[in-house]
A and B are shown apart, each in its own frame.
Chain A
Amino acid sequence: MIAAYLVLVIPFLGIILFALSGHKTDTGRINIRLNAVTLLATLWLAVNVLDAGTLLSANKAILVDSFNVYLIVLTAFVGLTTSIFSSPYMAHEKELGKLTDQRLKLYYSMYQGFMLAMYLVLTTNNMGVMWVAMEGATLATVLLVSLYRTPESIEAAWKYFILCGVGIAQALFGTILLYYAAAQLGDIGDDALLWSVLYQQAANLNPEILKIAFVFLLIGYGTKIGLVPLHNWLPDAHSEGPTPMSAILSGLLLNDALYAVVRNKMLVDGATHSPIAGHLMMGFGLLSFLVGALFLHRQKDIKRLFSYSSIEHMGLMTFAFGIGGPMATFAALLHMTVHSLTKSAIFVTVGHAAQVAGTQNMSKIRGLIKTQPRIGWGLLIGTIAIAGFPPFGVFTSEFLVLLATMHSYPWLTLPLLLGIGIAFAGLFRHIQPMVYGDKPEGQMPVKANLLPVMIHLGLVLWLGLAIPGFLANWFSQATLLISGSTPL
């Protein structure tokens, strides 16, 4: 249990440390170390859960089970690798005169603030606190989106703030309805928002109220997942904020919002005994998947391109959780992991590519492989991985989603395949001219640390070739928890 508290305390100390000490030359390195220590704490937590099963703290405030424990480790891992990338990247941005010490101080303390909010969303047992932490994540990142203080970035941040704020308010209404339904069960008082209590009592909750509540919860957290038509903030926030921000927004925030939806879906399913929640998720998911894939074709900005790719993949995961069978759930869990790893690797590479070319405009980025082979190849391989080519992990999970769809809703296979094809074409028509071809005059290599990218892509490759036993076991347990049976 100590491990779970450590995971929350370290980032909290980090915020205070960075806020008080101000920006110094080694702040970036301290940030890396803090994230590394948190990763160790999460690994310790994971070992505990592996040994002892579900952990529930004595005051019932913290719940760690097989569903969230691997997301906690993933969060810490992506947080660490992104901080490794961010240290030289932000130093370079400062050399270019885009940032001041004051803003870097804000950046590093809010980096830890965002991580704290993410861990709190994942570990808390209280649905209300989950909401508070999710809103906290918006508040922590909103000033980071406008970190460069350009008119565009301020517009993006305003949009992000208003859309996510209003959107997530709907989720609070859903949570209040949930509490209302639970309060009707009699005298459970303040425990009525605890997930562990609600889950046991799910069958007794009023199905009518829970159906209405789920609509609000899906819309609310769906805004954060980036579900179409609530996605407008996402490409703007990703393209205008600093690149490490884009990497953790895409890799972590979207996942955690989806996690919140799935937690709620488990309650609603238990109460209503009807597939209505799943159908809603399938509808929104498929729409986001197709719209995201189509919009890939029209992009000019490289970070916008990959943020639409995120919308597409989040749509696919939402769809898969919506189908709800063991295989689809397993696939969705795997896809959450591989997408998060691949997408943050891509954003890291994209950040370097944009520094090499001095622009994010794709028509001006050319000849990356000739300029700096590692960045060029990194981008190309990352794109291949995210487009779902074998042998990468994304292929495995997308294939499983397809299989599950064929099994449950055969007629939906066609739009899925179509969407995958469209997305593939949309990515490659932009990526190919950027990586191949001659380099423009005067384009110089930059100091880049591609270690995080290689580790991420290596892991994705590993997950595509063979999922290690303990991980597969975890996914199976989580699948059992969510869908009621194991996939194999």
Chain B
Amino acid sequence: MNIELQDIYTQAILSMAALVGLTSFLMLGQSRLLRLIFVFAFQGLLLTMTTMVAAYSTDNQHLYISAVLTLALKVVFIPWMLRREVLKMNLHRDIQALSNQTTLMLGGASLMVFSYYVLHPIVQTTSPVMLNALAVSLSVVLLGMLLMISHRQAIAHVVGFMSIENGLFFAAIVATNGMPMVVELGVAFDVLVAAVLFGIFFFHIRTSIDSLDVDLLNRLHEVDEQGARHDKNRSAVINPHTADYEVNR
């Protein structure tokens, strides 16, 4: 595939795919929550732009609506909500030490290669451009999961969750010029409700364990030893962050 031979729309989509993939990696290596949220908002902006480009080039009216919805939800509302939460919990000074960043990045890179490998069979039937776009969206989904595994703050989990949603949205825009309107509206509604529920959950988690560190949510186990674990948890709750972070640093 020679990129100069493609039309301008395809070139734009490919650059957007590259940028979206890049933002996922940036999020993965981010140890400060406010920056993480900023990068997430930026990814949302890239999505909005992709949608606008697709809407313009295919002259598809309903994609403009999706673009506005994405802008409102993923660039404004969700980042604003998360940022407010971070400031309220005073988490913006914390640096969450990621235990082995190199491994994490290598893991992320291999996930990207894996996405190309998984989707390679479809290259026989479609253009290589489509393969790139779909593989990048799948890797954004997988990188979002990796982000959730590697970070311990509930806020980072929400960012991971929403960035998975971004990856899916990108796939829908690029591969099929958007899903049918009713489905897009439904998905946007689900995302909105999910965001509101996350807000409610932050409140509940905070009141119950006095922290947003999900590692402290560890009461439910397969094995018994209930009593022992509860005692351990109690001591952990008294000292939610400091001790752990010292060790990791």
CB-contact partner of A132 in B141, B183, B219, under 8 A: B183
* Assembly CA distance A212 to B217 (angstroms): 35
Residue from A126, A154, A212, A236 within 8 A of B182 (CB atoms): A126
| Residue in A129, A173, A183, A298 whose Cβ sees the most chain B Cβ within 10 Å | A173
For B115-144 the 0/1 string (1 means CB < 8 A from A) is 000110110111000000010011001001
CB <8 Å contact, A128 and B180: yes
Q: Which residue of B lies closest to A120 (CB)?
A: B186
Interface membership of chain A positions 106-139, coded 1 if the CB is closer than 8 angstroms to chain B and 0 otherwise: 0000000000000000000010110111011001
**B interface residues, tally (CB under 8 Å):** 52
Partner of B217, one of A158, A177, A190: A158
Cβ of B179 within 8 Å of any chain A Cβ, yes or no, is yes
Contact between A129 and B161, CB atoms less than 8 A apart: no
Who on chain A is nearest to B226 by CB? A300
Q: A154-B205, A184-B126 are in contact. List 14 more A-B contacts (CB 8 A).
A: A128-B182, A129-B183, A131-B186, A146-B204, A154-B208, A155-B219, A158-B205, A159-B217, A161-B197, A170-B141, A173-B138, A183-B175, A183-B176, A236-B220
Pair A139/B194 contact, Cβ less than 8 Å: yes
**Once the chains bind, are A132 and B187 in contact (CB under 8 Å)?**
yes
Interchain nearest-CB distance for A319 vs B (Å): 23
Q: Decide: B168 and A169 in contact? CB cutoff 8 A.
A: yes
Interface positions of B (Cβ within 8 A of A): 118-119, 121-122, 124-126, 134, 137-138, 141, 144-145, 148, 154, 157, 161, 164-165, 167-168, 171-172, 175-176, 179-183, 186-187, 189-190, 193-194, 197, 200-201, 204-205, 208-209, 214, 217-220, 222-224, 226
B157 to chain A: which residues have CB within 8 Å? 162
Query: Which of chain B's residues have a CB closer than 8 A to the CB of A173?
Result: 137-138, 141, 167-168, 171
Are A169 and B164 touching (Cβ within 8 A)?
yes
Distance between B88 CB and nearest chain A CB, rounded to angstroms = 18
| Complex partner residue of A151 from B121, B194, B200, B209, CB under 8 angstroms | B209
State whether the Cβ of A486 lies closer than 8 Å to any Cβ in chain B: no
Inter-chain contacts of B118 with A (CB < 8 A): 212
A161-B201, A172-B168 known; A208-B121 Cβ under 8 A: yes
| Contact call B194/A128, Cβ cutoff below 8 A | no
Contacts of B161 in A (CB 8 A): 162, 165-166
The answer to whether the Cβ of A398 comes within 8 Å of any Cβ in the partner chain is no
| Min CB–CB distance A37 → chain B (angstroms) | 26
B47 to chain A, nearest CB (A): 14
User: In the complex, which residues of chain B have a beta carbon less than 8 angstroms from the beta carbon of A126?
Assistant: 180, 182-183
Beta-carbon nearest neighbor of B154 in chain A = A158
A193–B208 touching, CB < 8 Å = no
Question: When the two chains form their complex, are residues B186 and A132 in contact, meaning their CB atoms are under 8 A apart?
Answer: yes
Known A-B contacts A155-B220, A158-B214; the reply to A172 vs B187 at CB < 8 A is: yes
Across the interface, A208 reaches (CB within 8 A) one of B125, B171, B193, namely B125
Q: How many Å lie between the Cα of A3 and that of B27 in the bound state? A: 49
Interface pair A298/B222, CB less than 8 Å apart: yes
A residues near B138, Cβ cutoff 8 Å: 173
CB-defined contacts of A170 to chain B, threshold 8 Å: 141
